[in-house]
Structure 1
Amino acid sequence: MTAALEQRTILVVGRESGIARAVVGAVLAHGAKVVVAGRDAARLRAAYDDPGVAAETVDLTDETSVVRLAERLGQVDHIVSTASARARGQVGELSQATMLASFDTKVLGPILLAKHFAPRMPADGSFVLFSGSSARKPSIGMLAVAATNGAVDVVTRSLAVELAPIRVNAISPGTIDTGAYDALGEDRKAALFAQRSETNPVRRIGTADDIAEAVVFALTNTFLTGVSLAVDGGEPLV
């Protein structure tokens, strides 16, 4: 356990599964108090069912919702935003609504969190946002995802300067074994994972726990700010 998180309040925005759930488990293990927030607080509350976890409602695409969450919670020490809206598809398949939802959720949403929570945070507080390896390695069908992730990297650096001494970092995952790939179907998902396991330098697919460990590092390393930390098995190198 690292004492840096003990009894600190961490707001984790996102779903009740996958990376968000792993992050919640990791910070709880370090003695933190956790508030999880998403569009369905009842679902979050039922999923975690832990006395150390409180559940709240927030819609990152609605500034009024973010304001109300900040007013209800008051001061928090750290914020981790894992929320995203999937926008895979080649350029001819992408709708404006899909692209805007991706940007609203993953880029503008964290900016709104910073706007309304940073004035309530201590000087040693921090934000951890989520980017992704597609910002560094273009691939067909990932245009809108890559554009969104690239914007997150810019927001991370800009907020780190503007909010200082509050720290702002991003985690930039590669291919992680979560439900995000289930829409491909079992066979296509297995083929994708096999191909990337064969070609990336660490020869495996990442896990949600790999990412959660990186989040804890970003939350607790007080000399780290403005960084998009690649946790991707070296995938963009090949």
Structure 2
Amino acid sequence: MLKEKTAIVTGGSRGIGKAIALKLASMGADIAVIYAGNTDAAEAVSRQCREEYGVNAKAYRCDVADYATVKENVAQIKADFGTAHILVNNAGITRDGLLAMMKEEDYDAVLDTNLKGAFNMIRHCAGLFIRNREGCVINITSVAGIMGNAGQCNYAASKAGLIGLTKSVARELAPKGIRCNAIAPGFIATDMTESQAENPLLEKIPLGRMGKAEDVADAAAFLACAEYVTGEVLRVDGGIAM
């Protein structure tokens, strides 16, 4: 279904990013795994893509918040794969804290990685997509960007910003054959959400459980193939943000 396509997945070494990389690989896509720190984990994901699904896969260490570094990495991906067709902006961090006590550097770090990082990736992949006359951007936002969440004003702001970025990119690039959508996960069982295990909001999930990374990956697979869907925000949240 995605044979002869190349997908770039940021934050692809673990959690939701890993699940998306493996899902797209299972559909035949070659995979560029972008990661920030854990080389062994990123290489393991790349190796699993190659060995289990027979696709080309390679890991790239990159700070997505750094505009120049992203430009260099996208150029290297082009050299290695020839081009790219799908971009999944999944890289994200948290620096939770109450607004009245939040440090400026904690606010800036989250916005730089979660929001500016997505802009940087889209900005430098756009040329590849435009030349191909096709492209698919999938931004991983959050229900926190829809509902807000106490103690996460920086994270919620970054994820709400991603929704605005998604809709603007969708409008701007649609005439070039490029689609841009977002997925808004709710409480998904990953390393990042371990600290949320006792969150009282969990009791308000209509489906009664946390989601799995594979649930988000299934949504990414749909959007990667949905040729008449753009500017959409698809919630994968068990109904909590209804």
- Give structure 1 stretches of 5+ with no counterpart: none
Q: Distance in 2 between matches of 1:13 and 1:136?
A: 22
Select which of 105, 112, 119 maps to 1:111: 119
Say yes or no: does 1:167 pair with 2:179.
Answer: yes
Greater Cα offset, 20-29 or 106-115: 106-115
Q: Distance in 2 between matches of 1:20 and 1:46?
A: 13
Percent identical residues: 26
**Contact residue 35 and residue 62 of structure 2 kept, 8 A:** yes
- Report the alpha carbon displacement of residue 113 of structure 1 after superposing the two structures with TM: 1.4
Select which of 205, 212, 226 maps to 1:207: 212
Q: Distance in 2 between matches of 1:110 and 1:206?
A: 24
**Contact residue 135 and residue 150 of structure 1 kept, 8 A:** yes
Instruction: Tell me what 1:72 maps to.
Output: 76
Select which of 8, 14, 19 maps to 2:16: 19
**Contact residue 13 and residue 34 of structure 2 kept, 8 A:** no
| Letter matched to residue 17 of structure 1 | R
Select which of 61, 70, 76 maps to 1:57: 61
| Letter matched to residue 32 of structure 1 | A
**Contact residue 196 and residue 205 of structure 1 kept, 8 A:** no
| Equivalent runs, 1:1-238 vs 2, <5 Å | 3=1, 5-40=2-37, 42-43=39-40, 44-50=42-48, 51=50, 52=55, 53-74=57-78, 75-121=83-129, 122-164=132-174, 165-182=177-194, 184=195, 189-192=196-199, 195-237=200-242
Q: Distance in 2 between matches of 1:19 and 1:234?
A: 19
Pairwise CA RMSD of aligned residues? 1.6
Q: Distance in 1 between matches of 2:163 and 2:207?
A: 24
| Letter matched to residue 66 of structure 2 | D
How many residue pairs match? The answer is 227
Residues 32, 88 of structure 1: CA spacing in aligned structure 2 closer, same or farther, 3 A cutoff? same
**Contact residue 18 and residue 45 of structure 2 kept, 8 A:** no
- Report the alpha carbon displacement of residue 228 of structure 1 after superposing the two structures with TM: 1.4
Query: CA offsets per residue over residues 60-85 of structure 1, 9 Å max, x none?
Result: 11111111112112210111111012
- Report the alpha carbon displacement of residue 58 of structure 1 after superposing the two structures with TM: 1.6
Q: Distance in 2 between matches of 1:206 and 1:41?
A: 24
- Report the alpha carbon displacement of residue 209 of structure 1 after superposing the two structures with TM: 0.6
Q: Distance in 2 between matches of 1:96 and 1:20?
A: 28
**Contact residue 96 and residue 155 of structure 2 kept, 8 A:** yes
Q: Distance in 2 between matches of 1:150 and 1:63?
A: 21
